[in-house]
Structures are given as structure tokens and as C-alpha cells.
Structure 1
Amino acid sequence: MNIFNQPLLFKRISIVVSFVIVSLILWNTYTFFQKFKQEERIKMEILAEAQKELSTADLNSNIALSDKIITTNNSIPMILVDDKDEIIYANNLDSIKSLNPEYLQEQLAIMKKENKPIEISYDGKNKQYIYYRDSDLLKKLTYYPLALILILVLFLSVIYLFYSSNKAAETNKLWTGMAKETAHQIGTPLSSLLGWIAILKAEKVDETYIDEIEKDVHRLNTIANRFSKIGSIPELKKRDVVLITKQAFDYLKFRSSTQISFSFTSSDKEIQTLINEELFGWVIENIIKNAIDAMLGKGEVSLKIESSEKKVRILISDTGKGMPKKLFKQIFKPGYTTKKRGWGLGLSLSKRIVEDYHKGKIFVQKSEIGKGTTFEIILDKIS
């Protein structure tokens, strides 16, 4: 069994493995931190003994070892105080700031909170105390697990993105294959229908009937062409976007309920842009069909085209049920639908056609529950 073909199992295994790795990292770091901290404590206790021997030594004593122990401490910040808490000297602190008594008192307060003092007693009298804080190396060690966890998260994110992209690519191939096969299957009966139309014309059947059949055949041919273009880069040509949009608009207008009113307005009679007629007409139809469904067969659909110096804006509004703002982006995702029937591909395909093929933008401009929705499409205008 390949776990990469089992999404839920793969995710669960990834979570468990990640949890185990993070737990081991945190535990090992904590153990190492405590051991390192204990070693620093031992070093300071040895230094305290050296300090005691150095202070009690006479002129004939060998103080070389004690002096070396004290002078070689160049990593652990410390402050030596007397029994009255007066500072005798400080080591491994900022040399310039240490000239300021307030700075030394601040550091002493920090050291008192971090570690217990080490007492130096001279025959039970004249006690002194060494206060110290963790070395910079030990402090950096506390950030070590965070860095490892971050690396682990990044690594898992790369794996997840790789897995998701592979899955998305497979899904795209599936939809593309289905679309092309659909176009191929439609092509066979279309050829037959064209032959029957020719026979009907030869039999001198009423031209009105033949014209209507030819319109439907032309429509089926358009649908087949649209599906055949999915998955391949369509050819864009300089066309009048007003005319193409009006044709798609009128097609649904004359085939919709009389309880729906349609209005079409444009700031210019003709606006040129690079466009694929069949695919862009599909976008307009998809949005208008969604508008009709949202109004439950009764309401108003309005389409307005606005032109600026470099852009063309197409606004499609309805008086339907509207939607909350959180769905503005979600409705363009493949498979999302609020209908009992349908696969939720219309708006997803529309977004791909507009943004990937035509390098434009499509989005929900505004929507209000119970009042309706406005979609906006933006394309580049050419002269």
C-alpha cells in the first residue's frame, strides 16, 4: 500500500512523526540545557574556592592555580559582593556600562533571580557571595529547539506543498481529459445532425424548423469547442468585447423566464481587447446562469461595461439571495456549490479562463444577503 495515495493516512502519519520528532528535540535540548547549567554551577563553585584560597593565602603560598581559575573565567557573568550586599567586583559584563553603579545593581538583581548565590566563608566570618547568570552560550541554547522546530515545520511544509501540487496536477489532468473526451463524444452526433439537416432541406421541410435546429447544432458545436480548449493555451484575437458579451447575454436572455428582466449597457459601442470568443462567452454565461439560479427564476440581471484608458470593466449584477463576505473567494474553488445538482466547476473555470488565459481579473465586487451580488471582470484594453 502506497501511503502517498492515502491522503488521510499520510496526514496522520506526518502529524505523529512530527510530534515525536519535536518531543525528542525538546527533551534532548532540555536535558542538555540542564547538564550545561549544572556544569556552569560547578565551575562557579570551583571559582569560589579559588577566590577563598587567593584571599587567605600568605606570601609563601602558591596561588598560581587559584589565579588561573579566576582569570580563565571569560564566559560566565558574575558579581562578588560582601555580607552587606556591597559590590566588590564584577566580571564578564560590559566594561563601559560597568562603570555605572546602576547598571551593576540591575545586573545583580537579574543574577539573584536566575541562580542561587555561592557563599565564600572565611572561618565563619566576613562572608562573601558570588552571584552569576547563565552564559551567553547557554542562553543561545534556549533558542536552539525553536530553530530546529522551525526547520522541521518548513521541511513538512515543503512536503505538503509538493504533495498538494501533485494532487492538483493529477486533478487538472483528470478534468482536462474528461473535457476533451466530452468534446470528442459530442462531435459524433453533431456530424450526424448536420447530415439530417441537409436531408430535411432536400425534403423542403418548413425553414423555420430547420433554422431552430441549426441554432441548436451551432450551440452544441460551440460547447464542444469550449471543452476541447480546456487544458491547452487558447488563441487570443483582437475582438470587440462589447459584441461578444452582448451575444452571450442575449443567448440566455431569450431562453430565460419572462419573470426575469435583463438590462445591458455599455459606455462605448465598441471596445477592442485580446480575447477568445468561445471561452469568454462561456464566462459570461456561467455568471449569468449563477445569477438566475440565485434569484430562483425571478428578479433582475443587469450587465454594464465600462471603459477607461487601459482597462475594460464588466459588471454583472443580480437581485438574488446574495452571500456573506467569507464566500467571496471560496465560490471560485473547484467543487464548491450551493446547488443540489452540479459539480461546482462553472465559476472555477471562469476564473481560470479570465485570469490564466486572458490575464485579467474576476471577483465578487459586492454582495448583500437578500439583495443580490455583483461580479466584476477586468480585462486589458487595446487600441
Structure 2
Amino acid sequence: MNFNPKNKTINISLMVGAFFIVSLILWNTNSFFEQFKKEERHKMEIWATAQTEFRNSSQTEDLGDLHLKIFQNNTSTPMILVNKSGTFNAKNIEGNKKKDTAFIKQKIEDFKKENTPILMTHKGELIATLYYGNSEVLNNLKYYPLALLLIIFLFGAVIFFFFKTNKASEQSKLWAGMAKETAHQIGTPLTSLLGWNELLKDENINPEISVEIEKDICRLQTITDRFSNIGSLPKLEEKDIVAETKSAFDYLKRRSSKLIQFSFDSKVDELPVMLNKPLYNWTIENLVKNGIDAMRGKGHIAIEIIPAGSFVNILVSDTGHGIPKGNYASIFNPGHTSKRRGWGLGLSLVKRIVEEYHNGKVKVLSSSKDGTVMQISLKTKI
């Protein structure tokens, strides 16, 4: 999805609109809750008035059907009527706890927090106090705004991760585009260098100079091929894994410090594997350079090729300071680096090249204060 400024404005507008609608629902629910609570109190006040008239009427007086209907219809609101003498009568209270004095006292305290008690008076004298709680319907409605707040939070989290994922995707496309553009820009002077080198061969100069220039031109061509393959599915060809690994290893060996010892060992003379040569060489280069950095320019770098059934394992080891076990997975994340001036892209590129482009695996096989062993596993053609 292409997020241009216009699309971003639309998405932000939709997000704000969605939050506005959910907030409006939340506000209306809260208003409805308060209105329902007022209606319930009004109902309890009518009940208290009917109860007062009933208590102060003569036994022979006809109360009529209205009082009876008021008493009978209240089947949902829990209440406790406490007489001035201290006796109480509980209605709509659960179970067999209506006679439990400690439970009733606790309920009275709970009801006080939920609703203001209703004082029942006759001729200015307090005859009873009515404590009542919220009905089951009101209690359920009370938690509905909390559910809406949770929905808002989850909705916001989804939107956040949606934009974050798309931003990361856009950044990935940007880097891929920059890599391809870099390869394109290098191509022009590279072609010119090839022509100038051919002219130098015709001049009466030391042939070794031309040979070395040709090597560097080939190196630039390799770098160009690497960058042009970023962001697109590279073409794999059948190559000898032993020869390709040794070629990349020897190139780095010739251009590294004399303080670093290099060793190469293969358990087989040759082994066919489907490879993209420029990207695979880049992988070996990154692993070897990381090992050299870990050793701070002095130590031993070794590569070993070991067949393992239908796979081949390429082990790159160094004698550096090692990797903490908790960082075995995170070192492959983009941006993870232990270098002051590092970008943290080397090992993330290694993982992408090996696992996404070659359907292989790369991992830290082992690591300690004496060094680290990285393992690449690729499927063979045998």
C-alpha cells in the first residue's frame, strides 16, 4: 500500500472519526447510566413513601391495590429496611444470608457507597432508613463503559501497529530503491573505467597495474550486482559451494591485516548448491568482517564446510569476545550493533540473504569469551 500524503490524511481522518464515534457511544452510555440510576432512585422513593403510609395506617384502613402493586413489583433492586429500633428487613438479597447480621451490616456499608440512603419519616420523626443497591441490570450497565474503553484501547493498538508495520514496509522499500539507484549510478563510471583500463593496456606500463585495476573493477561490479539484487527475488544458479566460499574467503584474506590468521577446511572437494553468487559472497564477507571486528583486528578466523545429509553447513568461527546468549536471536535484527559507528545491517542482511533468498538457515552455533561460531545451512543438489 502506498501511503502518500493524501492517503495519510484520509487514514488519520478515519482514525479520528472512529475515535469520535466510540467516544460518543461512551458518553451516551454514561448519560444513560446516570438517567437509569435516577429512575431507580425515584422508584425506591415511591416504594419508601408507600411503606411509610402502610406503617402509619390503621389495620382496618383499606390501602387499595396501588400499595400492593408497588410492594410486589420491586423484585430486582436489593434493599435493606432498618427500623428505628435497629431491626431490619432485607429484600432481594441473595441466598440464605438475609438473617446473617454481619453480612447485612457489610451490605449496608456497600449500599451507602452506591446510593444515598432514603430517610423514612412521619410527622418529622424518623421511623426507618432504606438502604438500597444497584440492580443487576444497572451493575451490568456500569461495566459497559469499561468494556468500551478496552475496545478503544485495542482499537488504538491495532491502528498503531498497522501504521508502524506499513511505515517499516515503506522504509524497506525506500532502502531497496536506494540500493538499486546506487547500483545504477555506479554502473556509468564503472563502464568508463573498463574503457580506460583497456587503453592503459595499450600503453607501455607495468602489466601488474592493469591487472590490479581490473580486480578492483570486478570488485565494483560485484558490489553493483549485490545492490541491484536487494528488494527483488535473485536468480539462483547451481554453484560449487566449496569453490565459492573459498573465493570469497581468499579475497578477504589478501586484504586483511597480517595480525589475523586465516584457515579454510572442507570435508569435501566440491558440492553443488543453488546460489546467487554475489549475495552469497556478501554473506561470507559480512560474517568474516564481523569476526574481525569482534577480535579487534587480531586473532584467528576459520571457515569449515561440513556436509550434513541433504544439507551443507558452513561454519565461520573467530576468537573474539563472544556474544551473550540472550542476544543470539536479536543480533540478526536490523539496527542491532555493538559498534559505536555501526548501522546494524550486516547480520540482518545475512539472515535475509540466507533464509529468504536461499531457503537456508543461519544461527549462532556457539559463543563464549574465547570466540564465536556462526553456522549457515543450505540445501545441496545431491
| Bucket of the pairwise TM-score, normalised by the shorter protein | 0.7 to 0.9
Which amino acid in the other structure matches residue 106 of structure 2?
A: A
Counterpart for residue 62 of structure 1: 63
Match of 1:146 in 2: 146
Native 8 Å contact 1:279 1:353 kept in 2? yes
Instruction: Summarize the alignment of residues 44-83 of structure 1 with structure 2, pairs less than 5 Å apart.
Output: 44-55=44-55, 57=57, 58-80=59-81
The one-letter amino acid of 1:113's match is D
Q: Once the two structures are aligned, what percentage of the paired residues are identical?
A: 47
Question: 1:219 corresponds to which residue?
Answer: 219
- 1:230 and 2:227 aligned: no
Shift of 1:279: 0.8
Contact 1:108 1:131 in 2 (8 A): no
Kindly provide the CA deviation profile for residues 136-192 of structure 1, in whole angstroms up to 9, marking residues without a partner as x: 333233433333333333333344334434433443333223222222233233334
Aligned equivalents of 2:337 and 2:247: distance in 1?
A: 28
**Residues 1:109 and 2:106 aligned together:** yes
| SS of residue paired to 2:77 | coil
In the alignment, which residue of structure 2 is the partner of 1:176? 176
Q: CA deviation at 1:108?
A: 6.2
Whole-Å separation in 2 of the counterparts to 1:113 and 1:185: 77
Alignment correspondent of 1:132? 132
Number of the residue aligned with 1:90: 91
Report the 3-state secondary structure (helix = DSSP H, G, I; strand = E; otherwise coil) of the residue aligned with 1:223.
helix
Q: Which residue of 2 aligns with 1:9?
A: none
Counterpart position of 2:9: none
Q: Which residue of 2 aligns with 1:276?
A: 276
Report the alpha carbon displacement of residue 118 of structure 1 after superposing the two structures with TM: 4.3
Amino acid at match of 1:62: L
CA contact (8 A) 1:329 1:363 kept: no
In 1, Cα distance between equivalents of 2:191 and 2:288: 30
1:70-94 C-alpha deviation (Å, 9 max, x unpaired): 3332432334566676664532x55
Pick closer, same or farther for the CA change 1:74–1:339 going to 2, 3 Å: same
TM-score, structure 2 normalization: 0.74
User: Equivalent residue for 2:287?
Assistant: 287
Gaps of 5+ in 2: 6-15
How many aligned positions are there? 371
TM-superposed CA distance for 1:379, in Å, is: 4.1
Q: Does the CA contact (< 8 Å) of 1:54 and 1:63 recur in 2?
A: no
- What is the aligned partner in structure 1 of residue 330 from structure 2? 329
Cα displacement (A) at 1:256 = 1.0
SS in 1 for 2:44: helix
Q: 1:88 to 1:248 in 2, by over 3 A?
A: same
The DSSP-based 3-state class of the residue aligned with 2:91 is: strand
SS in 2 for 1:320: coil
Corresponding position of 1:256 = 256
**Aligned partners of 1:51, 1:305: CA distance in 2, in Å?**
95
Q: Offset of 1:20 from its aligned partner? A: 11
Task: Tell me if the contact between 1:318 and 1:374 (Cα under 8 Å) persists in the aligned partners.
Answer: yes
Q: Provide the aligned C-alpha RMSD in A.
A: 4.6
Counterpart for residue 41 of structure 1? 41
- For normalisation by structure 1, the TM-score amounts to 0.73
